[in-house]
Amino acid sequence: MRKSTLLKAAAIAVLPMLALSACGSSSNTNADANGGEQNVTFWYSNSGPAVDAINQLVSEFNDANKGKIKVEASYQGSYTDVQQKFSAAVQAKSTPSILQMNDTSTGYMIDSKMTTPVYKFAEGDSDFDTADLQPVALKYYSDDNGLLSLPFAISQPVTYINNKLAQQAGLDVSNPPTTFAEVVDWANTIHEKTGAYGFSMNMVDSWILEELSASHGELIATPDNGRGGKAVTGVNMTSATQLDMFQKIADMFKDGVALNPGTDSSSMTTAFTSNKVGVVLTSSASYTSMLPDNSSKNVTIAQFPHDDANKDAGTPIGGNSLWIVAAEHSEAEQKATWEFGKYMMTPHAQAVFAKASGNLFANTKAADEAEGKEILQDPNVKVFYDQLATNPSTSVSLGARTGAYPSIRKDVMASFNEVVGGSKDLKTAMQEAQTQSAKDIATYNKAAGK
């Protein structure tokens, strides 16, 4: 069952590449392509308060470009939904002008060959300067030629500490844990002293396992995380460092020290905000929903556990970027789309969206905007940006680049859940995850012509 599900996911991921050879290019259908108002269609996946920010920014852009450009924004569901809808749109020749895709879809979007890289628009455009972007975000979304997509929103994995439980356990929140060993010690102490869960983390997929690997200098995929010019052919989940950390996590789950949220991350959030779990590893983007009694004073944010001695180590960023689609879109429409994309990267737009969504701004000058200054007044939020600023741009810290990511994450998490459930030992399970991932990657690479 697992194999068929994963192969189906891989097949869905490569549909754009398969469709490309059949559809070719077609004439532009923009009704006003001959010098009139250009219509730009924008697909996005953000929900909640972020939608209000997107609608505000689109409205501002449209007001400033009346008679020249009109953007029509539409919510398309989750990132997975968008990827599937984009596959269908490629075949139907009805792609959007620009779409928002999550970080791990970068390899998929590159392989689709359906977009125009940002560097082609940015060359000679004095209104856009990549020097304003967070360095690690610039590197993440670039290839050897330059920037491929616009890094619209950024997130980071971080450590959340419930101040009430930590203090009840006699721990000093002003000196939070920064290494994995310290996180485990804090978790055990909180559980022992308070009876509450000491630890929890995202278990929907293998994201946290990947982040722990990278933050301790381990490549997630081989060769070279797909960053050295060669396509990914396998994953790395069995190094001594990885097995040691993964075993400690599995033991905490099995011993009742940790809360296993399974596929329902909201249960982890609820447990943390109701003072039932002490330490959580999750995304910076969850900050506004991770406040006990809705107060930032009740939580301490620490940088994600890491190995300071390893200079390659870092935390691959999350978030999303904006891709300008080439197929079915005239040069005039793409230029209009670029103008909208540039606007969404301005300090103003970045600050507005960051404040509303909880994501981190990619344009560093957003810190000088009123909204940016307000955000950075919170010492917890400052930790997010400090971690981002010190994150190196190495093959390790940038994470893996492959269009087979959805299958890889399901493979690894399925195997890790067997360990947590007690049906397999860790090394065997992770070796099986590597074997299955290699098969799924090979299926993807063949379909993508790699």
Contacts of 64 (CB under 8 A, 6+ apart): none
Pick from 280, 309, 307, 103: which is nearest to 215 by CA? Answer: 307
Q: In Å, how far are 301, 311, 383 from 304, measured between CA atoms?
A: 9, 15, 10
Which CATH number describes the domain made up of 157-316+404-447? 3.40.190.10
Q: Which of 103, 48, 45 is nearest to 77 (CA)?
A: 45
Vertex 390 angle, CA 237 and 181, to 5°: 45
What beta strand segments (E) does 311-354 contain?
318-324
203 vs 28: CA distance, rounded Å:
44
Report the predicted TM-score, pTM, of the whole model to 2 decimal places: 0.92
CA distance 305 to 33: 52
Element (H, E) at 9: helix 2-23
pLDDT tens for the chain, residues 1 to 450: 333 333 344 444 444 444 443 344 444 545 444 468 999 999 999 988 899 999 999 999 999 999 999 999 999 999 989 999 999 999 999 999 999 999 999 999 999 999 999 999 999 999 999 999 999 999 999 999 999 999 999 999 999 999 999 999 999 999 999 999 999 999 999 999 999 999 999 999 999 999 999 999 999 999 999 999 899 999 999 999 999 999 999 999 999 999 999 999 999 999 999 999 999 999 999 999 999 999 999 999 999 999 999 999 999 999 999 999 998 999 999 999 999 999 999 999 999 999 999 999 999 999 999 999 999 999 999 999 999 999 999 999 999 999 999 999 999 999 999 999 999 999 999 999 999 999 999 999 999 999
On whether the CB atoms of residues 189 and 204 are closer than 8 A, the answer is no
The domain ranges of the chain are 10-155+317-390, 157-316+404-447
What is the C-alpha to C-alpha distance for residues 449 and 334, in angstroms, rounded to an integer? 27
Domain 10-155+317-390 fold: D-Maltodextrin-Binding Protein; domain 2 (3.40.190)
Residue 293 φ/ψ region, left for φ over 0, alpha for ψ in the -120 to 50 degree band, beta for the rest = left
Q: Nearest Cα to 79, choosing from 254, 285, 288?
A: 285
Sheet holding 157-162: strands in order across? 258-259, 197-201, 277-283, 157-162, 299-303
Q: How distant, in Å, are the alpha carbons of 9, 77, 130, 261, 411 from that of 408?
A: 10, 22, 31, 20, 5
Helix, strand, coil percent content, the chain, rounded in steps of 5: 50, 15, 35
Any bridge partners for residue 302, and if so which?
A: 159
Q: Can you give the pLDDT at residue 30?
A: 56
- Cα-based angle 12, 16, 21 (whole degrees, multiple of 5): 130
